[in-house]
């Protein structure tokens, strides 16, 4: 399966713990996007990364949230000291380049529950 | 900032045609995409318009009028499997083109 992969699919964390969400883009894609979705709402852009570079992080809270896309390995979205308000579905998407980013390929998402 | 408006719900019967509208306000508009999402699963790309006019892809078509800041998704010969949420999303020149701004989605229910 050459699609976008995300793991874990479900993640439960207690308040104050750290959450690490992983995303492997589609084969041949070097641009990765992270979105957050609350029930009954649209997807909210968080961050856009290219290999080893953060291109746009304007949608990501400045505190507790960070993202990386290393030269080797998956992209990681890290949430430190989680709070109940962080409970949501987090989707990552990929595209081969920015010009074709109107068509983003999404992974199945990680459902984060903070207890 | 950006804002997108689309109806929250639409219902139709199998075999019918349905149109989902999207109006947007954004500076530096670049293009409008449409995505489908079943029951909170992975959103899938349907169509994209950067220029005025109609784009047809099988049973789905999408239309854009840049002067009216308006677009729509047209679904023909509806099937039960088309029951899903449909999102419009804009790209604009004011930010990186990779950043998509999504509407809140339209829940389509298709009845037999």
CA distance B100 to chain A (A): 7
A113: three-class secondary structure by DSSP: strand
Question: For the segment A15-53, what is each residue's pLDDT rounded down to a tens digit?
Answer: 999 999 999 999 999 999 999 999 888 899 999 999 999
**Cα(A47)–Cα(A36) distance, integer angstroms:** 10
Q: What is the mean pLDDT of residues A92-101?
A: 93
Predicted pLDDT of residue A89 = 98
Q: Radius of gyration of chain A from Cα atoms?
A: 13
Give the model confidence (pLDDT) of A65-91 as tens digits.
999 999 999 999 999 999 999 999 999
Mean pLDDT (whole number) for B70-83: 98
Residue A2 — very low, low, confident or very high, per pLDDT cuts 50/70/90?
A: confident
Residue in A with minimal Cα distance to B100 = A45
Q: Can you tell me the distance from the alpha carbon of B91 to that of A68, in angstroms, rounded to the nearest whole number?
A: 23
Kindly determine whether residue A4 and residue B48, on different chains, have CB atoms separated by under 8 Å: no
Rounded Cα distance, A101 and A79, in Å: 25
Q: What pLDDT band is residue B95 in, cutting at 50, 70 and 90?
A: confident
Q: Which two tokens stand for residue A41?
A: 């709402």
Instruction: Please judge whether A102 and B105 are an interchain contact, meaning their C-beta atoms are less than 8 angstroms apart.
Output: no
* pLDDT (mean) for B17-32: 95
Q: Which chain A residues have any C-beta within 8 angstroms of a chain B C-beta?
A: 4, 31, 33, 35, 37, 39-45, 48, 55-56, 58-59, 89, 91, 93, 95, 98-99, 101-109
Chain B interface residues (partner A, CB cutoff 8 A):
4, 31, 33, 40-45, 48, 50, 87, 89, 91, 95-105
A89 neighbourhood in chain B, CB within 8 Å: 40
| B contacts of A10 (beta carbons < 8 Å) | none
Task: Identify the burial level of B20 via C-beta atoms within 10 angstroms of its C-beta, where 0-12 means exposed, 13-18 middle and 19 or more buried.
Answer: buried
How many Å apart are CA B96 and CA B45, to the nearest integer? 19
What percent of chain A is predicted at pLDDT more than 70?
A: 99
């Amino acid at each position: 399966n050459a699609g976008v992969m995300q793991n874990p699919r479900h993640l439960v964390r207690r308040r104050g713990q750290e959450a690490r969400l992983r995303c492997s883009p589609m084969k041949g894609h070097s641009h990765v996007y992270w979105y957050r979705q609350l029930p009954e709402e649209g997807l909210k852009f968080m961050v856009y990364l290219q290999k080893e570079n953060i291109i746009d992080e304007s949608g990501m809270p400045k505190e507790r949230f960070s993202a990386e896309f290393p030269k080797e390995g998956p992209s990681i979205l890290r949430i430190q000291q989680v709070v109940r308000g962080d409970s949501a579905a987090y989707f990552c998407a990929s595209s081969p380049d920015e010009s074709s980013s109107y068509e983003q390929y999404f992974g199945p998402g990680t459902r984060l529950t903070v207890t | 900032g950006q804002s997108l408006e689309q109806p929250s719900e639409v219902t139709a019967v199998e075999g019918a045609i349905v149109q989902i509208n999207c109006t947007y306000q954004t500076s530096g508009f670049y293009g409008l995409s449409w995505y489908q999402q079943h029951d909170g699963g992975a959103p899938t790309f349907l169509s994209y318009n950067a220029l005025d006019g109609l784009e047809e892809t099988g049973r789905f078509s999408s239309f854009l009028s840049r002067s009216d800041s308006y677009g729509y998704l047209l679904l023909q010969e509806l099937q039960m499997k088309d029951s899903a949420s449909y999102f419009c999303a804009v790209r604009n020149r004011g930010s990186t083109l990779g950043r998509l701004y999504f509407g809140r989605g339209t829940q389509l229910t298709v009845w037999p």
